Structure 1
Amino acid sequence: MIIKASTRGNPPALARHLLNDRDNDQIEPHEVRGFMADDVMGAMREQQAIGQGVKSRQTLFSVSLSPPQDQSVDVSVFEKAIDDIELSVGLKDQPRVVIFHEKEGRRHAHAVWSRIDAESMTAIPLPFYKQKLMAISKDIYLEQGWKLPAGYIDKAQRDPRNFDLTLYQQAKREDVDAGRLKLMAKEAWALSDSREAFEQALEERGLYLARGERRSHIAMTWRGQVIALSRLLDRKTKEVRERLGNADALRSVEGARAYISQHIAPTLQRVIGEAEQQRAAQLGPVEAERLAMKVNHAAERQRLDTALAARQDEEQRERADRMRRGLAGLLDRITGRYNELRDENERAAWASLQRDRDQRQRLVAVQLAERQQLQQRILDIRNTHHDRVAELHRDLAQLLNDDKTAQRDERAQWLRDKERAQQDDRRRWLEEQQQIAQRHDVLPDERATTRHIATEPDKDRLSWLFEQQQRPDLNDTAQRERELSTNFNDRAEWLRRNMDRDTPQPDIDSGPDFF
């Protein structure tokens, strides 16, 4: 069976979780050992009081044991596994609590030990407990003849839908299946080869990439739930950063929420709201049937337990009556008949106990089979709803992507048109300057052109400077000075000085109209 364990504190919170009858169909306290209290909540409150005297905050060792769902497992198998765990991790004879849960047609057990050593008032260390529990889990699979999970043979073949408690609680708040959520994120990771492709693939699955405060990359649901991307992908943060690059270019948490509330939430609240109403209408009768089944199963077990207890009392009296008293009893002790009757009673008591356990186990197996049939109907409705929601996310993501593509194309076309218009204006101005140069002398034309250029934009000035550099009618000295000059005003001043020194000034008022 699958064994998961962790050290933890806050015993009352753990007790509330173990006794939560809202999420569990049946709750059966099996054992409370080593505490003064005889109930789960009392034992955990006692543990909390004892924990005030130690430095460690993790005073509990909590283990869950989950057998394959299609197997009917006897209580003795759970008990042996719990005893093996106790010996393996070094908690022999420590106070413990054992409780059975039945949830969604699956029966599993929880065992909780106190880590506090009563003599030294210190927390007992638990080195390498995960490796030890893995070995015990494999042994149980082999002993019971169950098919060993592929992940136990090769870590690379582990179920990608496996999740931890943190992810389960986050997914539960979003009303989605944690395994399904994790699988969607891994699909997006496998299908993409860049950050942009990964972001688009996530949006098609209802997740949105953003920049976290403590982690570089996070995934956000459309309802605003933040999930660490490394937890979803089962990858290290460094590996995620190497694949997706720096997260500074991504939206912040608040920015992502603003984007979702503006572009995503209005549509999804309407369409997903309709889908959830349909799911609620379909689940309503099934949920009523589940609650009725829960009450009926509990009542059947209570009646059986009462009948078994009455039969045990009657059989116990019958076994006690076999033991004679008085002189006859003394004679039986002398002849050895007393020991024979005692051994016979012990064997009968053990056989009676096993018979009652088997009878109760058969009832539990029948009820679990009935509950699993109902659970399959519930899963069909949930899967249909999840598929519809996934389709809505894909359609909305595709629609938004088409809008972004159209905007990018429109922007690119606008830039091309603007660049083409600038090139046309530049070419027309150069043609005008060539026509002016053909009608007038070089130096007067240069001064007139300088006056014209002084009123043109910077792009026209640069064009004029480039044109002047290509003219062969100026001497080499002037050419070198133009190459060294980077300021247009300096160049214009140089032209005026040379025109005043080398050539006569034309009468601009009486000359031809340059402009």
Structure 2
Amino acid sequence: MILKGSQRGNAAKLARHLLNERDNEHVELHELRGFVSDEQLLDALLEAQAVAKGTRCQQHLFSLSLNPPEDERVDVEHFETAIEMVEQQLGLDGHPRAIVFHEKEGRRHAHAVWSRIDSETMTAKNLPFFKRRLMEVSKELYLQHGWDMPKGIVDQALRNPLNFSRAEWQQAKRAMADPQLVKAMFKQAWQSSDNAETLKAALEDKGFFLARGDRRGVVALDYQGEVYALARWSGVKAKDVKDRLPDVDKFPSVQERRDEIAKRMSAQLQKYAVEINKAYHRKHPSIEFKRTQLVERHRDERKALYDRQRARWEQETAARAARLPRGMGGLWSWITGKYSRIRTQNELDAWQCYCRDQAERDGLVSRQLDERQQLQRAVKEVRDQRSKDIADLHLELSAYLSMQRGHTATAKVKADIAKQPETPKKDKSRGQDRSRGSGPDFNL
């Protein structure tokens, strides 16, 4: 199970993120522990923030995400066990805690948030080396469950360099591309070059163009004008980029580069982009409609189950309470020990009922995840095809630019150029008109 943690403030923003139903198909507030406000997540986190105002701590919350392997099904009990292990490892035992479950695209993951503030001493719990400790817990979880351990956990030097952050994923989503594919392109270009010129050529071969950023030094732009931070997407440090590209001023600004790309984009490439969008939007609405309908049905099924369980729990609670003797009989039962035995039996029955309800919820979620994953395969097929088409478009743009520099174009580009209509061009040297193929106009 991949564990990622961070110390942070801004309780309201975190609560909005955790309860975000726009980007998640299902959101479940599973637990609020140690808060006076024990019903609403926002109120609970704002309560923790109010307590923190009595200290000098700015990052009063510790946020943890738990992501199991993609092909593994993990129930609530195992998530809770993992959270308890992290809590003990970091020394956050007894601190106020919230647990939220998210489901998206047929996968389930969890978030846990602790208040770092000890309300008795009004001090923040120090969390030194928490990333290393999370890595240790993650290794233990992989071993306990018998999951295949990622190389990056076995040896951090072997970690997958194509993993991307939430910001990177959102940026690639704006460009409607696969972030893993984009990052692979950047890393390959970086590793295959050793100076500014070879890096520039390697990126242009993949349809990316260097420019002078406002605050990030050198950045790269794709054919849509989307800006990519070179260091982040290449998986290197900003200092490495500065060493390889020391002369930032020689690059055009972002706006100048965008204007240049717009001029270089031929009508045929624009036609490609339109075709990609049309093909995507023909398939996407029907799949999106099916996904929306499925999510709504799943939400209705869960609500119906929760309502039935709540009504049954209230009836069973009333029945258990009726077992306890009252009045003088209750006093005598307390003296003889019968009251204690009945209360113990009630607690056992209540725990068994809780486990039964949780098993029913787990069973429903498991069935729904299976159903959602079947649809996700169709979604992935459409997305993968679009990502491939966008990558091909980058290569075609590169081919046109290569032709402008006098290199050989790809067969597809040659075929498109052959379809270009011929226009008359005057021969100034002889004062006669001659007709010849003009080729694509790169100086639009």
TM over 0.5: yes
Q: Over aligned residues, Cα RMSD in angstroms? A: 2.6
Indicate the SS of the match to 2:364. Answer: helix
Indicate the SS of the match to 2:64. Answer: strand
Indicate the SS of the match to 1:163. Answer: coil
- The residue aligned with 2:180 is 179
User: Residues 51, 134 of structure 1: CA spacing in aligned structure 2 closer, same or farther, 3 A cutoff?
Assistant: same
Indicate the SS of the match to 2:349. Answer: helix
Is 2:223–2:394's contact at 8 Å kept on the other side of the alignment? no
Structure 1 residues 305-314 or 44-53, which shifts more?
44-53
Cα deviation 1:182-237 (Å, max 9, x = unaligned) = 12211223344554443333234342222334444322233333322121122223
Is 1:211–1:252's contact at 8 Å kept on the other side of the alignment? yes
Structure 1 residues 331-340 or 134-143, which shifts more?
331-340
Unaligned runs of 5+ in 1: 408-515
- The residue aligned with 1:78 is 79
Is 1:94–1:114's contact at 8 Å kept on the other side of the alignment? yes
Is 1:200–1:397's contact at 8 Å kept on the other side of the alignment? no
Distance in 1 between the 2:176 and 2:46 partners? 32
- The residue aligned with 2:22 is 22
User: Residues 56, 265 of structure 1: CA spacing in aligned structure 2 closer, same or farther, 3 A cutoff?
Assistant: farther
Distance in 2 between the 1:383 and 1:320 partners? 58
Distance in 2 between the 1:200 and 1:159 partners? 26
- The residue aligned with 2:391 is 390
Amino acid at match of 1:96: R
Cα deviation 1:339-363 (Å, max 9, x = unaligned) = 4433333322222211211111011
- The residue aligned with 1:2 is 2
- The residue aligned with 2:225 is 224
Is 2:29–2:101's contact at 8 Å kept on the other side of the alignment? yes
Indicate the SS of the match to 2:405. Answer: helix
Does 2:140 correspond to 1:139? yes
Question: How far 1:246 moved relative to its partner?
Answer: 4.1
Is 2:324–2:330's contact at 8 Å kept on the other side of the alignment? yes
User: Residues 313, 84 of structure 1: CA spacing in aligned structure 2 closer, same or farther, 3 A cutoff?
Assistant: same
Question: How far 1:406 moved relative to its partner?
Answer: 6.0
Distance in 2 between the 1:320 and 1:15 partners? 36
- The residue aligned with 2:406 is 405
Task: Give 1:83-482 correspondences, 5 Å limit.
Answer: 83-119=84-120, 121-192=122-193, 194-243=195-244, 246-264=247-265, 269-325=270-326, 329=330, 332-333=333-334, 336-405=337-406
Q: Which protein is bigger by CA-based radius of gyration? A: 1
Distance in 2 between the 1:119 and 1:330 partners? 38
Q: TM-score, normalised by structure 1?
A: 0.72
Q: TM-score, normalised by structure 2?
A: 0.83
Is 1:12–1:48's contact at 8 Å kept on the other side of the alignment? no
Indicate the SS of the match to 1:405. Answer: coil
Amino acid at match of 2:83: I
Amino acid at match of 1:280: H
Is 1:8–1:58's contact at 8 Å kept on the other side of the alignment? yes
Is 2:177–2:386's contact at 8 Å kept on the other side of the alignment? no
User: Residues 8, 328 of structure 1: CA spacing in aligned structure 2 closer, same or farther, 3 A cutoff?
Assistant: closer
Distance in 1 between the 2:11 and 2:382 partners? 37
Q: Number of aligned residue pairs: give it.
A: 407
User: Residues 348, 265 of structure 1: CA spacing in aligned structure 2 closer, same or farther, 3 A cutoff?
Assistant: farther
- The residue aligned with 1:33 is 33
Indicate the structure whose relative CO is greater, using CA pairs within 8 Å and at least 6 residues apart: 2
Cα deviation 1:329-382 (Å, max 9, x = unaligned) = 556555544444333333222222112111110110110111111111111001
Structure (1 or 2) with the greater helix fraction: 1
Identity of aligned residues (%): 44
Distance in 2 between the 1:121 and 1:315 partners? 41
Question: How far 1:293 moved relative to its partner?
Answer: 0.8
Distance in 1 between the 2:301 and 2:168 partners? 36
Distance in 1 between the 2:289 and 2:275 partners? 22
Distance in 2 between the 1:192 and 1:266 partners? 32
